[in-house]
Amino acid sequence: WGPLGHSVVAELAQRHLSPAAEAEVEHLLALDHTKSLADIASWPDEIRNDPKQQDLWKETRALHYIDFRDQSCKYVPPRDCKNGQCVVEAIPHYLIILSDRSQPDAARLQALKFVVHFVGDIHQPLHGGYRDDAGGNAYQVQFQGQGMNLHRVWDSGLLSTRGLDWKAYAKRLNAEGIAPLPPPIAPFDKPSAQWAEESCQITRDIYPNNHKIDQAYVDAELPVADSRLREAGRRLAEVLNLALQND
């Protein structure tokens, strides 16, 4: 997702934190002089894209997504995630640091930023693609009279058609109530594996006819994107509540 999607996911989650998790989040965010998860949700993209910082953070680039092998969308580690360098493994990795109160607060805050961001990204269907097109980055489309790629349509183009800022967008989705979750696919020892497999399965059906994103496409797919934002927000709250319980 772009900044809008990430902030929406973070805001939905923040509204559903337990008292213990809320207090710990507030404590960690105070280091950055903010109170809002939405504020820090895009930080992993900012450091990745900032010419002055990106070299330092180049190892994090692969952590934003996973490429599946084929349309079966079955996660097979380590085949599909070499050395743990993908979003499925990055989420539990940073959750462990976040939950470890012997770690310095600065490290736990950084882990919080990665968890918030990656739980969002793993729900963006094309961050779990299986086609040989870099998650839709190499699939060109026409959108609103312009050339674009399908990845950007899903990161930001679709969501921006609502013309809402992140606060209004989150409020709108929150008004629909708690997000229903898709049924379990299979027993997983990592919930993030299921979230990525769901994304992969969604990508089977989102390639437009004739490379054209028209109004019918937006009408059909924007609700899919909204569902993924709501699921991400609900699940982010759940994992934060678990990681930040009182001992």
- Please report, as residue ranges, which positions from 178 to 237 form the binding site for Zn ion (by CB under 5 A): none
Q: Does 39 bind ligand DCM (CB under 6 A)?
A: yes
Cα distances (Å, whole numbers) of residue 44 to 30, 113, 120 = 18, 7, 12
Residue 155 near residue 124, CB atoms below 8 Å: yes
Count of Cβ atoms closer than 10 Å to residue 216 Cβ:
11
Binding-site partner at residue 40 among Zn ion, ligand DCM, none, CB < 5 to 8 Å by type: ligand DCM
How far apart are alpha carbons 196 and 202 in whole angstroms? 10
Residue 65's binding partner, choosing from Zn ion, ligand DCM, none, with beta-carbon cut-off 5 to 8 A by kind?
ligand DCM
Q: Which of 6, 16, 64, 235 binds ligand DCM (CB under 6 A)?
A: 64
Q: Answer yes or no whether residue 32 interacts with ligand DCM by CB under 6 A.
A: yes
Q: Is 88 in the site for ligand DCM (CB under 6 A)?
A: no
64 lies in the binding site for Zn ion (CB under 5 A): yes
Instruction: Establish if 135 lies at the interface with ligand DCM (CB under 6 A).
Output: yes
Question: Is residue 157 part of the contact set for ligand DCM (CB under 6 A)?
Answer: no
Task: Report how far residue 61's alpha carbon sits from residue 194's, in angstroms, rounded to the nearest whole number.
Answer: 21
Instruction: For residues 6 and 30, give the distance between their C-alpha atoms in angstroms, rounded to a whole number.
Output: 20
Residue 126, interface with ligand DCM (CB under 6 A)?
Answer: yes
Asked whether position 121 contacts Zn ion by CB under 5 A, the answer is yes
Q: Is 127 exposed, middle or buried (0-12, 13-18, 19+ CB in 10 A)?
A: buried
Asked if residue 134 binds ligand DCM (CB under 6 A), the reply is yes
* DSSP state at residue 240: H
| Among positions 20, 50, 56, 61, the unique one binding ligand DCM when judged by CB under 6 A | 61
Distance in angstroms (rounded) separating the CA atoms of residues 200 and 244: 29
Does 127 bind ligand DCM (CB under 6 A)? Our answer is yes
Residues 148-167 that bind Zn ion (CB under 5 A): 155
Determine the residue with CB nearest ligand DCM: 135
Q: Which stretch binds Zn ion (CB under 5 A): 37-45, 50-58, 97-105, 136-144?
A: 37-45
Q: Between helices 105-123 and 87-99, what is the axis angle to 10°? A: 150
Structure tokens at 239: 């994992």
CA nearest 194: which of 247, 146, 239, 150?
239
Element (H, E) at 49: helix 43-49
Residues within the interface to Zn ion (CB under 5 A): 45, 64, 121, 155
Residues within the interface to ligand DCM (CB under 6 A): 32-34, 39-40, 43, 46, 61, 64-65, 67, 126-127, 134-135, 137, 151
